Amino acid sequence: MPAIPDGSRDITAHVALDACAAAGRAAGAGETVLTTQRVALRALGLDARRPPLGLAASDPEGYALTLCRASQDAELVDAAGLGGFGWLAQAVDMALPESLAKLAQTARG
């Protein structure tokens, strides 16, 4: 069945990210980060913590909205789910965001 970019089909591909990273470097990419979605999103500032319970009493609507967002964020960083997906970030003619660059430095030791 052909892929149709309308969201009606789930397309999954297994990709050798190390090979993609090598090709990117050969094409001129500078910094390279191979990591998981969980690590990358946390480095970029995603915080999946629940809001303080006291907010429910002082601002019930704000609490519900913040709790909903935290739930969505938690799904993105769940190590057993979406957070386990691999990420490759490379920069060409620009720097990686500082938080991702630090991940690259940490991986190099």
Beta bridge partners of 33: 89
pLDDT tens track, the chain, 109 positions: 677 778 777 777 788 999 999 999 999 998 899 999 999 999 999 989 999 999 999 999 999 999 999 999 999 999 999 999 999 999 999 999 999 999 887 777 5
Check if the beta carbon of residue 50 is closer than 8 Å to that of residue 70.
Answer: yes
Domain boundaries, the chain: 33-108
Specify the pTM.
Answer: 0.78
